[in-house]
A and B are shown apart, each in its own frame.
Chain A
Amino acid sequence: MNRIDPALARGLTRARLSRRSILQMSGLTAAGLALTACGVRGQGADEAPDASFWEDKQSNGTLRFANWPLYMDTDRTQLQQFTERTGIEVAYDEAVQENHSWFGKIQPKLAQGESIGYDLMVITNGIELTKLIELGFLAPLDHDQLPNFAEHAGELYKNTSYDPGNTYTVPYTSGITGIAYNPDYVDREITSIADLWDPKFKGKVGMMGDPQEIANFGLLLNGVNPADSGPDDWEKALAKLEQQRDKGIVRRYYEQDYIQPLTNGDVWMSMAWSGDIYQQNAEEGTDLKFVVPEEGATIWTDCMMIPVTAENPVDALLLMDFLYEPEIAAGLTEYITYIPPVPEAREILKDKAGEASGEEKKELDGLVESPLVFPTEADYAKLHNYVPLTTDNEDSFTPMFLSVTQS
């Protein structure tokens, strides 16, 4: 067989758009489908599942996994390793493209107590996750069967505010929401959220359309930690965001598709996710800058969880734990380029870089040294959690910030 230029192969096998944007189109379609699927019933399960959930469960040798696009390489290397080790076959599906449309899709089935067709899924720690937990739609994890998680997960990723004690979820990967800018157009160093409010960049600033993300930046600009904020703080953040919009500074509120406008100069700076910028620079040779602003930024986590109606929960639990083996986590990180919940992954990648040569070594070195994938202590100190939303305060929170983006 001919040797293929590795760069070409990479180009062919890896998506060129940002991680989440690529399937936005199908996301839109899914949204349309979900619209029709909404039912009247909304009540949660009759009683929240408890530890007895696991009593009569056993491994069935098969498992269905719903994950985000570009969250595992096309060979599904880690899943192959899992199958070799345990004999459990995994059907992997890039089924999740947006938290809210995914939630809309699975909610009616979960409310009926039916299987959603997956035993393991990955959702971000936002309001959808909170709702899933409140509705009693998630299986409580049996931590006795998660020894790798206990041993290798970073302290920061244990006992999180959105899921105390990791009762229902363990992290899959994390990322930072910060600011990205294109130095071809911006002639000064961008360091703060306030730069996004600078009238000098009128019509050249991109913001995110997600109510939670945008609220976080408004809050941080006002010096408020999103995780400790209340309705009064939201009002003030809202005023700031409206001011920014009405002065014409914001070009557009993006869903996940800000990378291309940022690359070709339609916007000069934008709220951005760390891994997207890393990927774009690594694959397109762009030189987009990503900054964790001095006012702070937020860290989000995409979490693995087992729906309560899963048919193969034990197999799902085994895979969850398997992904916490440092070797496996390192392999995943190499592809995903977001922050792994297993700090040891960095050492392993470092060793691998030491043995590698040429292009591969350069890539691995870049990955290991990148603060986007392995944030520094100083960065971590500036990272905050999201506004903790419950069903009660979300009723006012979401419409409030939607009114900014949907003017």
Chain B
Amino acid sequence: MNTTPTSSPGSPDSPGSPDSGQSAPGPRRFTGATPYLLVLPGWLWLAIFFVVPIVSMVTMSLMSGNLVRGFALTFEFGNYADAVSTYWPQILRSLFYGGCATLLCIAIGYPVAYWIAFRGGAYKSTYLLLLLLPFFVSFVLRTISWGFMLSDDGVVLGTLKGIGLLPDGVHVLNSAPAVIFGLAYNFLPFMVLPIYAVLERMDHRLVEAARDLYAGRVQAFVRVVLPISLPGVFAGVIMTFIPTSADYINAKVLGGTHNTMIGQVIESQYLVNNAYPMAASITFILMAVLLIGIFTYARALGTEQVMEAQAR
């Protein structure tokens, strides 16, 4: 049999070369259209739920007016200037909280992923299930439970105060650390899973080889394991940094004064203030800032590794 990979084994008239110049018979033409038909739902999905909303949001962000009188497209670029000048502290704070939460996720998540991948043995899937178990409970409920955990006389602080390790006045709930811890807690699995996926697939003999070549444990980790796992870390950072920076529930439930994140501002601009153009422009600023951040980060880390991470 001399069939090329592109020709279907079921069609006996397949020529040896795919571009023989002959017009293909009926079934073959259909074969040509099939991939496009298969991809159509995906494109439709993107068009309806991504392109259309984005376009309408861009339009909205350039409008002026109010709900009662209606909004008109006046190419009001001032919306963007207003948004930045009014809300730059909240934007910067969101990025800062998101960044801290992401670092915290790496610090906690990497060892977890490492341990499950290399030491999990037969129970790997059990450990992963345990990691994901909290996700069977609603995000908001878990955040509220965090509030209970961190409350002034709650399980943690109450005990510490009880044994005299903390003075009475200290509180964690409704402060920046509470928000950052909450974010890290809620998004931790998004960091662990990609790192785990990379480490799990790693050839363990590479570590052995490194040790054979007189690398110490630390050396072997830094020079072999870490570089191999970086695409996982990269994917993890994207999957935690973007949602944590845009999150508004943690700040709303666990934050206090001066802890507002930009997501809360967007929500209230839409729902309390009905200032849709303003809300749309803040949304775009947030998107832009995040995209620029991610691309810079991708550049710094090397695009190939990024593509590799995406391909997995």
Interface residues, chain A, with chain B CB atoms under 8 Å away: 25, 28-29, 31, 34-36, 38, 40-44, 98, 100-101, 103-104, 107, 131, 134-135, 203, 211, 245, 248, 250-253, 255, 261, 264-266, 391, 395, 398-399, 402, 405-407
Among residues 140 to 197 in chain B, which have CB atoms less than 8 Å away from a CB atom of chain A?
140-141, 144, 151-154, 169, 171, 173-174
Residue of A41, A211, A251 contacting most chain B CB atoms (<10 Å): A251
Whether A25 touches B144, Cβ cut-off 8 Å, given contacts A35-B271, A134-B68, A399-B273, is yes
Q: Does B65 lie at the interface of the complex (its beta carbon under 8 Å from any beta carbon of A)?
A: yes
Interface centre among B66, B271, B275 (most CB of A within 10 A): B271
29 contacting pairs across A/B (C-beta < 8 A): A25-B138, A29-B140, A31-B267, A31-B271, A38-B270, A40-B59, A40-B63, A42-B65, A43-B70, A44-B68, A103-B271, A104-B274, A135-B67, A245-B257, A251-B256, A251-B257, A252-B255, A252-B257, A255-B252, A261-B151, A264-B153, A264-B154, A265-B153, A266-B173, A391-B66, A398-B273, A399-B273, A406-B90, A406-B268
CB contact between B141 and one of A25, A38, A398, A402 (< 8 Å): that residue: A25
Q: Which 4 residue pairs spanning A and B have beta carbons closest together?
A: A43-B70, A391-B68, A42-B70, A25-B140
Q: Which residues of A contact B154 (CB under 8 A)?
A: 264
B272 touches A407 (CB 8 A): no
Instruction: Output the least CB separation between A336 and chain B (Å).
Output: 25
B69 at the interface (CB under 8 A from A): yes
Minimum CB distance partner of B90 in chain A? A406
Given contacts A28-B140, A253-B257, contact A101 B271 (CB under 8 A): yes
Q: Are A265 and B152 in contact (CB under 8 A)?
A: yes
Give chain A residues whose Cβ lies under 8 Å from the Cβ of B151: 261, 264, 266
B272 touches A402 (CB 8 A): yes
Q: Is the CB of B264 within 8 A of A391?
A: no
Alpha-carbon separation in the docked complex, A313 to B64 (Å): 35
Q: Are A42 and B71 in contact (CB under 8 A)?
A: yes
Q: Determine whether the beta carbon of A266 is less than 8 Å from that of B69.
A: no
Contacts of A253 in B (CB 8 A): 257
How many residues of B are in contact with the other chain, CB < 8 A?
44
| Contact digits for B252-285, partner A, Cβ 8 Å, 1 yes 0 no | 1001111010001101101111111000000000
Q: Does B286 contact A (CB under 8 A)?
A: no
- B260 and A135 within 8 A (CB): no
Q: How far is the CA of A39 from the CA of B204 in the complex (A)?
A: 55
**Which of chain A's residues have a CB closer than 8 A to the CB of B59?**
40
B271 and A100 contact, CB distance less than 8 A:
yes
- B99-116 CB mask vs A (1 if < 8 Å, else 0) is 000000000000000000
Task: Report the nearest A residue to B151, measured CB to CB.
Answer: A266
State A399–B279 Cα separation when bound (angstroms).
Answer: 12
Q: Which residues of B contact A44 (CB under 8 A)?
A: 68
B60 at the interface (CB under 8 A from A): yes
User: How far apart are A209's CB and chain B's nearest CB, in angstroms?
Assistant: 9
Q: Once bound together, how far apart are the Cα atoms of A36 and B283, in whole Å? A: 13
Q: Within 8 Å CB of B271, what residues of A?
A: 31, 34-35, 98, 100-101, 103-104
Query: In the complex, what residues of A have CB within 8 A of residue B70's CB?
Result: 41-43
A131 and B144 alpha carbons, distance in the complex (Å): 33
Residue B53 is within 8 A (CB to CB) of chain A in the complex: yes
B249 within 8 A of A: yes
> What is the bound-complex CA distance between A40 and B72, given in angstroms?
8
